[in-house]
Chain A
Amino acid sequence: MQETSDYLQFVLAPQMFTGLTMGVAVVLAALGLTIIFGLLDVINMAHGAFYAVGAYLALALERVGFGYIVLLPLVVLVMAAFGYLLQYGLIQHVLTRGRDRHVTTLMLTLGLAMVIEDANRAIFGVETLRPANPIPGSAAIFGMVLPNYRLFLISAGILIVAAVMVVIYRTRFGAMVRAAAFDRQMAASLGVPVKRIYGLTFALGVALTGLAGALLAPVYSIFPTMGHDFLVMAFIVVIVGGLGSVTGAVAAGFLLTQVQALASLVVSPVWGSPIILAVMVFVLIMRPGGLFGRLGHV
């Protein structure tokens, strides 16, 4: 009995906590990805690159002198602006290509990802960097020792996820986003400023994933290819949750990161990624639409 309780307290729970830390960030990024697809029909292969940019940006702002917690909103704003400009200046131009749109935007964002990755390399160098832990120390909760920063990360992350869901489902902006996702022309004829909504939505998506990068940077460090595996994870979550589904991204995000965290207790961590990928392939075969419905269509 003692052994089970010990196992729970010292092995399982901390692992779940780690999974939750990752989960919050993954959910933020997946939300961005799924909203971008749900509304704009864009497969954003540069989503991982934006994640890295968010992390690098946070580091740069810290070097300039901002306090880490203070700079987070700044990162959000800068990433949002960046996203808005990208949508208007670049993505917009291939959005009208008809039925090839998915493939074209996929390839365009793929190229963009390459450019951003190397740009990060050029500006910040190839070595792994790490911002200082903004909230050092740890707290004892339920007999577990949990790092303070991670506690902050999880609480802040969950708050933001909740805020995004409120925005999507309870505000006028969110209603316009969902209307435009459901039927672009109808929404436009009803007075919804579709182009601006597109820009704002892309901005939101980019901001969310950039924030995820900034939040996780002190935990997992920053390096030029950090976006790769994260992008894969975000895509898996979005696929399993349903491309375009907000609830799906949240549910699948927390679920899959827990699966990955707990799986590493049983098998070597290197198999974590193939396992999750296999889950994705399996879900795609069984329910191609993912586990939940699509933005605007549910």
Chain B
Amino acid sequence: MSDPITLSMRSSHLFVASALFAALLFALVAWTLGDRFYLRLATEALLFSGLSLSVGILFGYTGLLPLGQALFFGFGAYASALALRHNPSFWAAIFVVFIATLALGIACWLIAGRMRGVYFALVSFGLAEIVSKAVYNIRWLGASDGLRGIPIVDIPLGFLSISTDAPLAFFLFALVFVGFLYSVSAYVLDTPLGRGLMAMKSNERRMRFLGYPVFAARLVAYVLAAEIAALAGALYPMLRGFVSPDLMYFSVSTEAIIGVVLGGATMLAGPLYGAVILTVLRSIIASLTQYHLLVTGLIFMIAVIFLPRGIIGIAQRSGGGGLD
């Protein structure tokens, strides 16, 4: 089927493939130069791009803007940290994060699921604030200092094993990991269920009459987004060796949203690009001035007014497709 939505999805895959290629080039250069710092920075950017992807799924496909998606990112990070401290096994930690996020995602959806627009945004914000403030005050979760002393683990991949302490190897692994998260999202969003989400954005009432499982679809989208964010967050303690409450803060959620808007919400690849570009921009800005919040805010406002389809939207203007 050569319908525009599938074509758009294929363009998205192309963008991601190019980004992957660029990332591999970067890794090659960094490796030959013996760099550790930039590889670690790039890995961190990758993890946060996973959070942007999560926001992009909700915003681009269900039309809901989550102001507190960092909740799941931080939750995944904390769950992973606790799991690793208890049992230094990568796959066990991932499993724990997956199951725990399933529970949290469904719980949050029961609260926020019926809401739309502004109300959804504010409830999402409220939930993140409540949890982050609670974590900030709970002593056995490390309170404001967070949890430290996350052990270095080995990631067994059958034929080889990657240490979370090896910058290059872990970067490549994170690349594959985020790529996997992207692939799962892309798959789900191009199934009848995923297509239905888009239709629901424009006419939910009719979808109900057509027998579409509106309730289930929203739940799937919300939990999928939560899992993406949490699994990306799960790698954070492995990278940095610690977690802290500010991983759930509004500023983190905001950055993820800016990444989506900057990259483009109409394509799944947009948030990934946007997050990476934002990270690069911020380090450039930070070296020029201490007022990076101001510059980021300006960039954000400009993107909102002049780039309704984000940076990727500029790149694909000649081709068709996109979600709107």
Contact = CB atoms under 8 A, between A and B. Distances in A.
A and B touch in the complex (CB under 8 A): yes
Interface of A: 43, 90, 93-94, 102-104, 106-108, 110-115, 117-119, 121-122, 228, 232, 235-236, 239, 243, 268, 270-271, 273-274, 277-278, 280-281, 284-285, 288
A108 B301 CA distance: 5
A288 B121 CA distance: 13
A118 B294 contact: yes
Nearest to B201: A99
B254 A110 contact: yes
Contact of B305 (A108, A118, A236, A268): A108
B291 A118 contact: yes
A114 B300 contact: yes
Contacts of A285: 111, 114
Interface residues of B, number: 36
Nearest to A289: B119
B17 interface: no
B304 A113 contact: no
B193 interface: no
A284 to B, nearest CB: 5
B117 A274 contact: no
Nearest to B257: A107
Contact of B294 (A114, A236, A271): A114
A95 to B, nearest CB: 12
A158 B18 CA distance: 61
Among the interface residues B121, B299, B304, which one has the most CB atoms of the partner chain A within 10 A? B304
A119 B118 contact: no
Contacts of A277: 126, 129-130, 133
Contacts of B65: 103, 106-107
B236 to A, nearest CB: 24
Chain B interface, DSSP helix/strand/loop, else mixed: helix
A270 B130 CA distance: 11
Contact of A108 (B137, B250, B304): B304
Contacts of A110: 254, 257, 300
A118 B293 contact: yes
A94 B123 contact: no
Interface string B233-270: 00000000000000000100010011001000000000
B253 to A, nearest CB: 10
Contacts of B134: 274
A280 B299 CA distance: 32
Given A103-B65, A114-B297, A278 B122 contact: no
Chain A interface, DSSP helix/strand/loop, else mixed: helix
B298 A273 contact: no
A106 B121 contact: yes
B127 interface: yes
Contacts of A270: 133, 136-137
A103 B124 CA distance: 14
A48 to B, nearest CB: 11
B296 interface: yes
A94 B133 contact: no
Contacts of A280: 122, 126
Interface string B265-307: 0000000000000000000000000011110111111001100
20 contacts: A94-B305, A103-B65, A107-B300, A110-B254, A111-B298, A113-B297, A114-B293, A115-B293, A115-B298, A117-B293, A121-B291, A239-B119, A268-B137, A273-B133, A274-B133, A278-B126, A278-B130, A284-B126, A288-B115, A288-B119
B278 to A, nearest CB: 13
A133 B136 CA distance: 33
Contacts of A278: 126, 130
B294 A239 contact: no
A57 to B, nearest CB: 18
B118 A102 contact: yes
Contacts of A281: 111, 123, 126-127, 130
Contacts of B121: 43, 103, 106
Interface in B74-126: 111, 114-115, 117-119, 121-123, 126
Contacts of B119: 239, 284, 288
Nearest to A288: B119
Contacts of A119: 294
Among the interface residues B65, B121, B254, B301, which one has the most CB atoms of the partner chain A within 10 A? B301
Nearest to A290: B119
A284 B293 contact: no
Nearest to A115: B297
Contacts of B137: 268, 270-271
Among the interface residues A111, A112, A117, A270, which one has the most CB atoms of the partner chain B within 10 A? A111
A103 to B, nearest CB: 5
